[in-house]
A and B are shown apart, each in its own frame.
Chain A
Amino acid sequence: MNSLSTYLLISALLFSMGLLGILQRRNLIGMLISVELLLNAANLNFMAFNRFLAHDPVTGQVITLFVMGLAAAEAAIGLSIILALYRKMHSINIEAAQKMKG
């Protein structure tokens, strides 16, 4: 019903907001949230191309499901790393993690 470029514009807007979040936050959990926004923008693109252009409508949905699985894995690992980091340096400020700076 709506054209392909509508969806592409929405997902570009989502992606740039996620990018802005990654660049301007110092909070590790905030950066993780922004990464989820980026993955969702990519997923929305896949589904839109799938709906309007693709030969086989299964492909885009399967890719979207795989990205969701990877995002779940990434969130679990990311959260546990954040918790471990917080126990070590009592802060989740990204700029406090400088032990390997040399």
Chain B
Amino acid sequence: MDTSGLNFILQAAFWVTVALTISGAAIAVFPRNILYNVLGLALALIGVSGFYLYLGSLFVALMQLLIYVGAICIAIVFAIMLSRPLHVDIPPRSAGKVWLGILAATVFFIGAAGVALKTNWQAAAGHVYKASQWSVQNIGNALLTRYELVFEVISLVLLVAIIGAVITAGFSRRISS
């Protein structure tokens, strides 16, 4: 097997993933049609799950597809389509505020990129990359031993969020009608 050819294909696929993610984020932020924004968000999230594959975690990549693309994006699409906000036209912000926002985002990007490039990142003691450590079994063990409390609290938060969402959406209908 010619490994250099394989490496080239992997690199090319990586940069295609980068392009997908960045263009998806751009579609999620810039167009005025809210439905395009959601579809761009889905594209960006699929790209990020591709990065998780490159980082060696199939499980988290699948969870990303399942939770973000399959649940959150679809929930937003339903919320847009089942109520009418899609057709409500919102005037854009004044140009001055948009430029201030662009300035703030650029300053943040320059700062973060400077930190990422200038820091001399040192691996923690005992860091070795072994594919066997990335198995689903290890994640399950950690979830039910060391991170058990956090796991339960997250479940509680999700339950409260679901009940709260139902009550918020349901009660306001009763009040307004």
A residues apposed to B, CB below 8 Å? 1-2, 4-5, 7-10, 12-21, 23-27, 29-30, 32-34, 36-37, 40, 43-44, 47-48, 50-59, 61-62, 64-66, 68-77, 79-84, 86-88, 90-93
| Chain B proximity of A53: nearest CB distance (Å) | 5
Task: Give how many B residues have a beta carbon under 8 Å from the other chain's beta carbons.
Answer: 90
Q: In whole angstroms, how far apart are the Cα atoms of A54 and B64 in the complex?
A: 21
Known: A13-B109, A27-B34, A87-B176. Contact between A76 and B162, CB under 8 A?
yes
B residues apposed to A, CB below 8 Å? 7, 10-11, 14, 18, 21-22, 25-26, 28-29, 34, 37-38, 41, 44-45, 48, 51-52, 54-57, 59-60, 63-64, 67-68, 71-72, 75-76, 79-80, 83-85, 88, 90-93, 97-98, 100-102, 104-106, 108-109, 112-113, 116-117, 121-127, 129, 133-134, 138-139, 141-143, 147, 150, 154, 157-158, 160-162, 164-166, 168-169, 171-173, 176
Q: In whole angstroms, how far apart are the Cα atoms of A8 and B147 in the complex?
A: 26
- Among the listed A14, A66, A79, A88, which residue makes an inter-chain contact with B44, where contact means beta carbons less than 8 Å apart? A14
| Chain B proximity of A99: nearest CB distance (Å) | 14
- Among the listed B11, B150, B172, which residue makes an inter-chain contact with A84, where contact means beta carbons less than 8 Å apart? B172
Residues from chain A with a CB closer than 8 A to the CB of B165 are: 76-77, 79-80
Which chain A residue shows the least CB distance to B160?
A73
Q: In whole angstroms, how far apart are the Cα atoms of A90 and B172 in the complex?
A: 13
| Chain A proximity of B114: nearest CB distance (Å) | 10
Residues from chain B with a CB closer than 8 A to the CB of A59 are: 142
Q: In whole angstroms, how far apart are the Cα atoms of A36 and B44 in the complex?
A: 10
Residues from chain B with a CB closer than 8 A to the CB of A74 are: 161
Q: In whole angstroms, how far apart are the Cα atoms of A87 and B147 in the complex?
A: 40
Q: In whole angstroms, how far apart are the Cα atoms of A80 and B14 in the complex?
A: 37
| Chain B proximity of A49: nearest CB distance (Å) | 8
Q: In whole angstroms, how far apart are the Cα atoms of A18 and B113 in the complex?
A: 16
Most buried by B among A36, A43, A76: A76
Q: In whole angstroms, how far apart are the Cα atoms of A12 and B81 in the complex?
A: 32
Q: In whole angstroms, how far apart are the Cα atoms of A78 and B26 in the complex?
A: 22
Seed contacts A14-B48, A66-B147, A72-B72; 11 additional CB < 8 Å A-B pairs = A10-B18, A18-B29, A20-B101, A29-B37, A48-B55, A58-B138, A62-B139, A62-B142, A77-B164, A86-B84, A86-B85
| Chain A proximity of B152: nearest CB distance (Å) | 12
Known: A29-B80, A44-B48, A47-B57. Contact between A15 and B108, CB under 8 A?
yes
